[in-house]
Structures are given as structure tokens and as C-alpha cells.
Structure 1
Amino acid sequence: MSTPRYALYYAPAADSPLWHFGCATLGYDAFTGEDIAFAAPAGCNADRWPQLTAEPRRYGFHATLKAPFELAHGRSEGQLRAFAHQIAAGLSAVPLAGLAIAALGRFIALTPAGPSPALQTLAFDIVQAFEPFRAPLGAADLARRLASPLTPAQRAYLEAYGYPYVGDDFRFHMTLTGSLPQDDVAGTTAALGQAYAAAVPAAPAVIDRLALFRQDSREGRFRLLDSFMLGR
């Protein structure tokens, strides 16, 4: 029997234009747990779009703050939810100049329009705060992480927090595609940029909530369990 995994994400309000855009791009609403109609960007191959978004669809529309983990021995989901509520109340929302579509290597994501030291601090505070709830990585997960080229700092983060891209190596991003063929990256980035501009009003963004997601089994998708406003 598979052990559930949990993750601490940023996910926008379920009634917001940003949430609707992200979910429609992925074809999945992690709040309802249901497939929804794809909104392939104009100029992209609609038949291929489900395949191009298959990997991020497993996780739902989000930005990772603390990567997926199994619960440590003696910890319960109820304790995790209560702690998330408590931690969120003591954190402050982080305003951003906005979000922008960008290519990160060969996948495409929404990223902050400018640097935000406050967002870096928020993310690392969350990573560290929830460490008591994280079970150590299993051998298979550790091997998978070590198979990627990691810097010495990233290896140290992996050992300490079960994930290499935290602290100075954290980059806030809301993934919209899987890895694309290199020839498709520029065109798909432009098409998603136009779709985003049409769907989401241009305005500053605020990272104002902490979302708790759950994956019942490794074969399943993550679903939104709860969302906690920061500073409340």
C-alpha cells in the first residue's frame, strides 16, 4: 500500500483568474480533483497539448514551497494541517511586481517579474519549519535526486531538507508544461504569454496563502487539502 505524500505550495484562490488560467492550461483542477477542458494556447497543437502538460498535471497548478514528502513516524495529517494553520498565521504576505511567462530550460512557467528577497526568505522559512513532519527520503527517491547533476550546496540541501532546490537555490515558479522539444520552446513561450495576458488582468501579485496538497499514491495526482491565509 502506497504512503501518502504531502507538499506545501503556493496556490492562488480557487475563484481567481490566475487559478482558472493555470488549471485550464494543465487540464486539471486540484481543488475539485477533476479533469477540465484544456485551453491550449492559440497556435499550439491542441492534440499534443495533453501530452506536453502531463507531468505538471500530476501536481496541479502551484509553486513549490516545500517539496513533496511522506510524514515522519508519529506525525499525522491532522497535526500537519494544524501546524500549517499556525505557521501561516505568523508569516507575512509577499507582494510581487507581477508574474510573467518564462522558459526555464525546456519547460515553461510563471515566474516573478523581478527579484524578491522576501519571497526567498518566506520559502526557506517554510522549508525549515516543516522539517519535523518530513520522513527521511527513501533509497529510490534519494537515487533519483542524485541522478541529476547537483552542486555541492544542492547536495547539502538535499541531505538536510530532502530537496536540493531550496535556500539560495530556490526559484519560485508555477509550471505550465513538461520538458518541450527545443524547437518548440520559443513559440510555446510566446503563445502562453499571449494566453496569460488575455486571461489574467495585469496587476501586482501577492503571495498571500499557504496551500497543503496531498497525493494518495505515487501513481495519483496531488489534490488541494486546505489553504491558509498568511498573517491570519
Structure 2
Amino acid sequence: MRYAIYFTPSYDDPLTRLGSQWLGRDAFTGEALGQPVLEEISRERLFALSEEPRRYGFHATLKPPFSLAEGRSEDELRDAFLSFCEHMPAISLPGLKVARLGSFLALTLSAPSDALDVLAASCVETFDPFRAPLSDADRARRLAAGLSPHQAELLEKWGYPYVFYEFRFHMTLSGRLGDAEEAECLTRDATRYFASLTDRPLKISTIALFVEREKGAPFTVLDLKPLGRDASEGGRPVSRENANA
């Protein structure tokens, strides 16, 4: 079993609905969704290209997936998550854009945000005591990707190489794109598909605790909480059991 802390808007937010449909799965309910009909990429090909991010659900990573450290419980983690949300302010961002990040496609920020960097760094530090040590297999898998010396240091200390100065906000839309022409087609399709929500202000007012109940299972939303003092007033708690309540 693994957990992760991700940014995702509320269940009924237009960005959540568009992103979930693009990937073909609702991370709040676990329901499979019909993917959009695009102009340049077939629905069958989109299904294949989105296979990896579909398992994780539509999100932006703040605290990467981790197993619980010995002696820690899910209830403790959920309590700590609620407390964290109560004390972190909501953040206004300049907006999103569709962009290629290395070999995959994602929604990224149209301009940097120091406040978002602080939120992500605070997430990594606050919840690291809940993280079990990195396994030898995971360490080897990460190092095989060709990390820089600094990234390798972050991997050893925090269990993930892309934190702090290496952090870059992104909401993944595809797996690895090997063909340049196909990547350009998918980029154009995604730009059209998300046009109603890009290049305009975005507010990060909720974050979510996700769970992978068994190895290889899809990640689903365990808790969604608002940032700021409203978090203590309940917000919209969500799980597969009560997402539609």
C-alpha cells in the first residue's frame, strides 16, 4: 500500500472533469470514463498513450508516492494531512499551458510561482517522517534513469529526485512519446481540448491524499481538503465510498 499527496481540484471542478476524461478514469470514484474524440489522435491511440498516467489519476505531485514507515498508521497520516491543510494558505497561480516535458505531455505553469514551490517543499518535509525507507529495487530503478549528482542526493535523502529545486509543477497527460510527429499531433489536440481552462488564473485551494491499496492498483482519492482555516470545517471529504454523496 502506498500514499501520495497531490494537487487536484474538487470533484466537480471543470479542470478535474476535463483531465479525468482525457485520461479515461475518475480518481475520485475509480470509474472508467469515455475519452474524448480528438481531431488528430484516435481514441484507441489516446487510450494507449494515457495508460500510465491513468493509473495515477489526474493530478500534480506534491509528495510523491510512499509506503508508510514502520509504526505509522493511515489514521495518523490522515490526521497529519488535515492539520497540514489547515495551516497552508490557498495559492493563486498565473495559469496553465500544454507543454512537452522531456518525453511526455503535461499541463504546466505559464509562469513560475514561489508560493507553489513553498507548498511543495513543505509537503515533502512535513510528511517525510511517514515515509518508509527507499527499497533497493526502487533506488536502482531511479538511478538507472540517469540522475544528476544533485538528483541522486535528493533521492537518498527524500526518496525522490525531483523535489525542492528540481520540482516542476505538472499534470501529466501522457506516457512516453517516442514519435515526434505523433507528439506534435497530441500537443495540438490537447491544446484545443484544454483551451477553455488554459492561460487564465488558477487557484490551488484544495489538495488530496491519494492511496494505492495494493501494488499496481490504481491510485484513488482518500481525502480531499481545502487549504486554510476552512479545512477544519470539513470541506468535501472524498473516497470511493462517498465521492458522490
State the TM-score, normalizing by the size of structure 1: 0.95
**Superposed CA offset, 1:181-231 (max 9, x none):** 232112211110011014x37631011122000001222100000111111
Partner of 2:139: 142
The superposition leaves residues 98-146 of structure 1 with CA deviations (integer Å, 9 ceiling, x where unpaired) of 1111111221101111011111111011100001100001111111111
Task: Decide whether the 8 Å contact of 2:110 with 2:199 is kept in 1.
Answer: no
Alpha-carbon distance in structure 1 between the residues aligned to 2:38 and 2:15: 15
SS in 2 for 1:20: helix
Correspondence 1:110 to 2:112: no
Task: Provide structure 1 residue ranges, at least 5 long, that are not aligned to the other structure.
Answer: none
8 Å CA contact retained: 1:210, 1:227: yes
Where does residue 171 of structure 2 map in the other structure? Answer: 174
Q: Residues 26-69 of structure 1: CA distance to partner in whole angstroms, max 9, x if unpaired?
A: 00000001111111432211121111100001100000001000
Contact 2:121–2:163, Cα closer than 8 Å, also in 1? yes
Once the two structures are TM-superposed, the CA of residue 16 in structure 1 deviates from its matched residue by 0.7
Root mean square deviation, CA, Å:
1.2
Take 2:37 and 2:143, find their aligned partners in 1: how far apart are those partners?
Answer: 34
Aligned residue number for residue 70 of structure 2: 73
CA distance in 2, matches of 1:44, 1:19: 22
Secondary structure at the aligned position of 1:210 is classed as strand
| Alignment-derived partner of residue 187 in structure 1 | 185
Amino acid at match of 2:38: P
SS state at 1:165 partner: coil
Identity of aligned residues (%): 46
Q: 1:39 to 1:133 in 2, by over 3 A?
A: same
Answer whether contact 2:2 2:212 (CA < 8 A) is retained.
yes
Task: Say if 1:48 and 1:62 are closer, same or farther in 2 by CA, change over 3 A.
Answer: same
In terms of mean alpha carbon deviation, does 40-49 or 57-66 score higher? 40-49
Q: Is the 8 A contact 2:94 2:199 kept in 1?
A: no
Cα shift at 1:76 = 0.6
Number of paired residues?
228
CA contact (8 A) 1:101 1:108 kept: yes
Cα pair 2:9 2:207 within 8 Å, conserved: no
Question: Does the 8 Å contact 2:95/2:198 carry over to 1?
Answer: no
In structure 2, what is the equivalent of residue 62 of structure 1?
59
How far, CA to CA, are the matches of 1:107 and 1:42 in structure 2? 19
Note the 1:14-29 alignment, pairs <5 A: 14-29=11-26
1:230 alignment partner, one of 221, 227, 230: 227
Gaps of 5+ in 2: 230-245
Contact 1:66 1:126 in 2 (8 A): yes
> AA paired with 1:54?
E
Question: Displacement of 1:154 after TM fit?
Answer: 0.8
